Amino acid sequence: MTAQNMWQISNIIRKLRIVHTCLALFIFISMGVGCANTHKTITEKRPHEFTFPKDFLWGAATSSHQVEGNNTNNDWWEWEQTRIPQARSGQACDHWNRFEEDFKLAQTLGHTAHRFSIEWSRIEPQEGQWDNVALSHYGQVIASLRSKGIEPIVTLNHFTLPLWLERQGGWSSQKTPELFARYTQKVTEALGGDVHYWMTLNEPVVYTYKGYMVGEWPPGVKSPKEAIKVFENLLRGHVLAYEKIKETYTRKGWKESKVGIAQSVLIFRACSDTSLRDRIAARFRHWMFNHLFVQALIRGKAYCIGLFNIHLSKAKTLDFIGLNYYTRDFVLHNGFGFPGILGQACTATVAHDRHTGKDNFLSWDIYPKGLYTFLKDFSRYKLPLLISENGIATNDDAERVSFIVEHLKAVAQAKEEGVPVIGYLYWSLLDNYEWAEGFVPRFGLIEVNYLTQERTVRGSARELEGIIRSGKLYYED
Ligand code: GCO
């Protein structure tokens, strides 16, 4: 090998080394950049952590007729026998006999609150006759919850009425507010020492609409005039019940009571955003369905030109507002008179196109943002807000997990912005009787086998338990 060859070879090696070093440098730098990028991505995507306050009320809700079984003495039972023989409540979840077992499960799931309703037809089976056995049953229900560290939240009227009351016109009778107040007083005196949270009425507007406007629920009336009467009597009933609870607590020297209602809230969107008429109908529905009842209780009056002018004996009869939130509806304009102005649902095809793409088993649009919207919207009343129902009917439990997480995210965001949300109650603790839909939709954190009454805790209940126990929710913005 000549000296020149040697020089050429060492030159090549030197060049190779330079290339190698450059390559190494390049790889190193790009890895660095890569790392920096990865780091950046992680920072951007780092989940947000929200911590719920220690006293946040966590749990689930039920209602008497949907879970207890054999509520043979109320208007719904009667209705089921003739109108919906395919969807009779029968034994339901036999919760009347199994409440202890069910609450033990709620306790293992970390629940700190439970909303249930008292069945008026059991307490007052005949007008003016009180059933002390039934009263003491609910006393045991409350004691059972308390012994497990679970705060009872008691609804006084969740849709069903005793038969004797239905026979004299139910909520359309002017006497009913007084009768409701008398029942409330009886229950408060018997159970009040152990209860702080009362909800007088469940979804009074839904009740009025379904029972008196579209006639889909008992008593099956279709009369806007009757509906307005019922609406007014429900307002009066709440005010009188509120006063009875307050008066009883003062007289007995019991710890402060907190009285609210469970208000159903539904997002209403126009079927067509370009139609002014649809938008008006959606706005009107929003006011009538979501706000009117609550506003009337706060202001002590309700007015709508040509329809009603109601003055209540007292204003500010809400200590907190319960919100039952599930879904979003699309509204089609239906004329400027009443009830046309309320609009009507879009046809299934139009509605389907506008859905988020995720519907529950009952074809309800799943729209978690709506919960955030309502929490912000209702913060205008400057009252504590309790999510008294939020849930999904599904046969796919993974869907339930994401439903809960997405809705809790909405709660966390609202709370971060200062909205006073005091609790979250999932609907429902158990699969149960879904009114005219019967037992097919499955809403429960706990599955119920209706043949054997066997309970099986669902995975979603455990996921929720994890959030409850840690008090933390992690989510990406
Ligand atoms: C209602 C009730 C519950 C229902 C729940 C699911 O809104 O009808 O408060 O009784 O079961 O909302 O539909």
Distance CA 161, CA 276 (A): 40
Is 41's pLDDT higher than 50? no
**How many CB atoms neighbour CB 44 within 10 A?**
9
Beta bridge partners of 42: none
23-27, 84-88, 224-228, 319-323: the lowest-pLDDT one: 23-27
Between 12 and 383, where is the model more confident?
Answer: 383
Q: Which ligand 1 atom lies nearest to the CA of residue 202?
A: 9
Residue 34 domain-assigned? no
Give the model's pLDDT for residue 334: 86
Kind of pairing between the strands at 472-475 and 48-51: antiparallel
Give the model's pLDDT for residue 203: 98
Give the model's pLDDT for residue 13: 46
**Residue 352's domain spans which residues?**
46-476
24-33, 283-292, 348-357: the lowest-pLDDT one: 24-33
Q: Which ligand 1 atom lies nearest to the CA of residue 435?
A: 11
Residue 40 domain-assigned? no
Give the model's pLDDT for residue 446: 99
Give the model's pLDDT for residue 14: 52
Instruction: Calculate the average pLDDT of the chain.
Output: 91
Residue 125 domain-assigned? yes
Residue 14 domain-assigned? no
Q: How far is the CA of 14 from the centre of ligand 1 (A)?
A: 80
Among 203, 366, 439, say which to mutate for ligand 1: greatest number of ligand atoms within 8 Å of CB: 203
Q: How far is the CA of 32 from the centre of ligand 1 (A)?
A: 56
Residue 37 domain-assigned? no
Is 312's pLDDT higher than 50? yes
Q: Which ligand 1 atom lies nearest to the CA of residue 264?
A: 7
Give the model's pLDDT for residue 18: 45
Q: Which ligand 1 atom lies nearest to the CA of residue 434?
A: 11
Torsions phi, psi for 262 (to 5 deg): -100, 110
Residue 10 domain-assigned? no
Give the model's pLDDT for residue 81: 96
Is 10's pLDDT higher than 60? no
Q: Quick: pLDDT tens for 168-181.
A: 999 999 999 999 99
Between 2 and 296, where is the model more confident?
Answer: 296
CB 226 within 8 A of CB 174: no
Residue 186 domain-assigned? yes
Q: Which ligand 1 atom lies nearest to the CA of residue 262?
A: 9
CB 363 within 8 A of CB 373: no
Output the six-digit token pair for 123: 């307490």
Q: How far is the CA of 206 from the centre of ligand 1 (A)?
A: 10
Is 300's pLDDT higher than 80? yes
H/E element holding 109? none
Give the model's pLDDT for residue 200: 99
Residue 82 domain-assigned? yes
Nearest to 371 by CA among 403, 400, 343, 348: 403
Nearest to 294 by CA among 388, 362, 166, 184: 388
What is the pLDDT averaged over residues 408-422?
98
Q: Quick: pLDDT tens for 196-245.
A: 999 999 999 999 999 999 999 999 999 999 999 999 999 999 999 999 99
Q: How far is the CA of 384 from the centre of ligand 1 (A)?
A: 22
Between 387 and 1, where is the model more confident?
Answer: 387
Distance CA 202, CA 263 (A): 7
CATH code for the domain in which residue 123 is found: 3.20.20.80
Give the model's pLDDT for residue 423: 99
3-state secondary structure of 351: helix
11-15, 72-76, 182-186: the lowest-pLDDT one: 11-15
Q: How far is the CA of 350 from the centre of ligand 1 (A)?
A: 25
Between 176 and 17, where is the model more confident?
Answer: 176
Torsions phi, psi for 387 (to 5 deg): -80, 100
Among 201, 430, 434, 448, say which to mutate for ligand 1: greatest number of ligand atoms within 8 Å of CB: 434
pTM exceeds cut of 0.85? yes
Q: How far is the CA of 394 from the centre of ligand 1 (A)?
A: 15
Q: How far is the CA of 52 from the centre of ligand 1 (A)?
A: 26
Q: How far is the CA of 431 from the centre of ligand 1 (A)?
A: 12
Give the model's pLDDT for residue 47: 82
The residue count for the chain: 477
* Atom 13 of ligand 1, residue of closest alpha carbon: 434
What is the pLDDT averaged over residues 295-301?
98
Q: Quick: pLDDT tens for 118-166.
A: 999 999 999 999 999 999 999 999 999 999 999 999 999 999 999 999 9
Q: Which ligand 1 atom lies nearest to the CA of residue 362?
A: 13
Total structural domains within the chain: 1
Q: Per-residue confidence at 44, pLDDT binned at 50, 70, 90? A: low
Q: How far is the CA of 433 from the centre of ligand 1 (A)?
A: 10
Tell me which residues have their CB closer than 6 angstroms to ligand 1.
63, 66, 202-203, 206, 264, 324, 389, 427, 434
